[in-house]
Chains A and B, each alone.
Chain A
């Protein structure tokens, strides 16, 4: 969320958001401090659970290209001035994406009429909008309160693999859950070597450890090593080799 959006929110709403974001000392903060703290937290790249930037893109200040360009365009750039992106597409839906092992990102859109209908059938004004993440393979789920009918969320699971989907739904205080949108299913990648061996390409444990190490993976039992290498990265996003 941009500072402008945050500034329009009430102090109470900002405190709720700060609490969700685990910002320390939020209860004693004034509005401007809350906005700053939330913005700072949103910029942090690697939190376990974080509010995303919301569905809105950052606004571009003018219709002219940001990179300076000379003179008046020979061709009126009316194609560059088609307005802002839609905030929603008028369809109730949810989409789930994998960020990295254990980490997922979901975005959703619940049409007002669908939400209202669910509220009516629930018969409770205090029902909450919830994202329910299912590990389909393991048969377990976990609930995350999400508030916004058009929103998105990064979240961490403690699942090391399996097929996952999310449902956005209305949850009553009695635990009743009305599903509004069901996402696609994704496969959480495994961050370690498989235990399965193809008999045609059989390999002794010791030999595999040796070849794994030579491949740059080091010890197959300690995938943290490989991950450290990957985190540091020897590729285009590791240095400034590319703009």
Chain B
């Protein structure tokens, strides 16, 4: 008997990284790796599930910068170029590994896999991956959520309410452009909630969002059903809470599934292991070693040299058994909860970074597929559903205001506000105030002035990505994050000065438009007065 709902939520996001000014740019690989290892495998998975008639529902957020990159012809072309090189490298690897059974088998596996990736990208999707996600949404198996326009962290932006509102409105319009309808749900960037943000969500027609566990547990009144029912905010949108138990089984570095010794090791990659005269054409042209995606070892031993060869068959068996274990635990959790909730059906909401599945945890997509098939056919207690399905079937819910919260370490804002990154906010807030000032002074701009105002809005939004503060804190590729913050703030500042001084330099504006192409549909009036 059905005991409750399980909402699997995959948050897919990458910052907008697109550098037409360079023939190759290393940080663009973030996107290419995620396409090959996560987005295409998820599309292929959903395609198989739909073809096999498996009943399921998944929720994903595809953030506006990710959508804009996936729909960008230049990045599509560069991804295709990289993919062709990978097919070629895997072919060479089949030659090189001849006589080493374990490695040779894997080289053939990679070769087939890259060919398949290319077939899906070129022939099945015709380079339009967003279109594939849209088809699943239109078929009712996928709910696509939007996100803040550039993944700005709302709790640290709230001093300028209009900046938060603009992040929401620009995201809604971008979603409409890509998916042909307005969004039902929003993934608050970094799960960052502050009391009051819901009024902007309501204005954008958003029906639901997700908060970290304590966001619901520490709500303004005691949540009768803990995180297992949503709270309806005073403005209307529903707040669902993240379940810790199911999160921990996947996320936890010690106890989580991805650390199993049968799974593929992320770090040991032929891009680092093989001599330069061989691997040279497939790493960065300056000789900088990078991940190629061809990895032959499994997670064994602390030192690289100790790692044992990867066995795909073992890994698949383990993924199936982990999926069975995950389902078993959800069934037990569901039975326990429906007892504690006196008959009201619980919803367990389990959000993860989408890129965890496939990119970091190579077998993640197979785990998901096993889990979805088992849930559909092996039991009837747990039902896969989206938050919208829950709301449609359970329209009456408690009303309260969640507590400020995020899913970063510590649960609040300290990951994005500490010694390494606090300096950005002085500039971000000043730029946001200036953008509002411009929107107030020029409510009906046309022509070059309107273009300059729209570009200023793009630069501000790009500077606001929480990714830059995040990178400054984690300590890898920090100079890139600092540079992006500085570049966008400075471009914004020049545009602001030119607009106010009535001396717009069209050449400068054109260059900015050529570089920072995000949101062609943008309307700077999103920064106008609050309603």
Contact = CB atoms under 8 A, between A and B. Distances in A.
B214 A98 contact: no
Contacts of B204: none
A224 B418 CA distance: 22
A83 B411 contact: no
Given A95-B159, A214-B337, A73 B22 contact: yes
A183 to B, nearest CB: 9
A196 B486 contact: no
A65 B409 contact: no
Contact of A97 (B159, B415, B511): B159
A80 B355 CA distance: 30
A120 interface: no
Interface in A42-97: 42-45, 50, 52-58, 60-61, 65-71, 73-75, 77-80, 82-86, 89, 95-97
B487 interface: yes
A226 interface: yes
Interface in B12-44: 19-27, 30
B483 A82 contact: no
14 contacts: A44-B419, A53-B423, A71-B22, A73-B21, A79-B508, A82-B491, A85-B427, A152-B423, A189-B412, A194-B219, A215-B226, A216-B244, A238-B252, A238-B253
A100 interface: yes
A212 B427 CA distance: 40
A68 B476 CA distance: 14
B288 interface: yes
Given A54-B423, A107-B426, A226 B214 contact: yes
B244 A229 contact: yes
Contact of B22 (A69, A229, A239): A69
Contacts of A60: 479, 482-483, 486
B285 interface: yes
Contacts of A236: 190, 353, 407-408
Nearest to A190: B218
Given A95-B159, A99-B412, A201 B221 contact: yes
Question: How many A residues touch the partner, as a band?
Answer: 35 or more
Interface stretch (A27-35, A168-176, A203-211): A203-211
From A43, A52, A211, residue with most partner B Cβ within 10 Å: A211
Contact of B411 (A57, A66, A214, A230): A230
B251 A85 contact: no
B443 to A, nearest CB: 23
Given A52-B422, A233-B409, A69 B24 contact: yes
Contact of A53 (B212, B420, B477, B480): B420
Interface string B493-508: 1100000000000001
A98 B409 CA distance: 15
B326 interface: no
B391 interface: no
B477 A67 contact: yes
Interface of B: 19-27, 30, 155-156, 159, 190-191, 195, 212-214, 216-228, 241, 243-245, 247-248, 251-253, 284-286, 288, 336-337, 340-341, 353, 355-356, 360, 398-400, 403-405, 407-415, 417-420, 422-427, 429-430, 470-471, 473-474, 476-480, 482-483, 485-487, 489-491, 493-494, 508, 511-512, 514-515
Nearest to B287: A68
A237 B427 CA distance: 24
Contact of A67 (B27, B398, B417, B429): B27
Contact of B285 (A54, A70, A226, A239): A70
A91 to B, nearest CB: 8
Given A53-B422, A196-B220, A86 B493 contact: yes
Interface string A212-230: 1011110010000011011
Nearest to B515: A79
A189 B408 contact: no
A177 interface: no
Given A66-B477, A234-B247, 6 more contacts: A65-B22, A187-B404, A191-B218, A211-B228, A214-B228, A226-B213
Contacts of B473: 237
From A58, A69, A73, residue with most partner B Cβ within 10 Å: A69
Contacts of A57: 423-424, 427, 482, 485-486
A242 interface: yes
Contacts of B24: 69-70
